[in-house]
Amino acid sequence: MKSVEVEAPTRCEAIKIALKTLGVNREGVVVTILREEKRGLFGKKGGKLAKVRVALKIEKPRA
């Protein structure tokens, strides 16, 4: 299964980047949130980026 892991300031941005990288739309993938974004103290440094894994869905061949 082809997949990518992406980090971005928000999970929505990370998903958009991953979809663009794979060249597919939202219906053709499985999204796993690996880490939610975390803000630093008072929005300063020290926060963590959101991290997602986006994998292509496996389509079963029709018999």
The confidence score (pLDDT) of residue 63 equals 63
Identify whether 42 is part of a domain.
no
User: Alpha carbon of 18 to those of 24, 31, 36, 58: distances in Å?
Assistant: 9, 10, 16, 17
Q: What is the mean pLDDT of each run of 10 residues along the chain (63 residues)?
A: 92 96 93 91 77 89 67
Q: How many domains does the chain have?
A: 1
Identify whether 10 is part of a domain.
yes
Q: Could you give the CA distance from residue 29 to residue 41 in angstroms, rounded to a whole number?
A: 34
The confidence score (pLDDT) of residue 5 equals 97
Identify whether 5 is part of a domain.
yes
Identify whether 11 is part of a domain.
yes
Identify whether 27 is part of a domain.
yes
The confidence score (pLDDT) of residue 23 equals 93
The confidence score (pLDDT) of residue 44 equals 67
Q: What range defines the domain where residue 18 resides?
A: 1-35
The confidence score (pLDDT) of residue 59 equals 72
Identify whether 7 is part of a domain.
yes
Query: What pTM was computed for the model?
Result: 0.81
Identify whether 16 is part of a domain.
yes
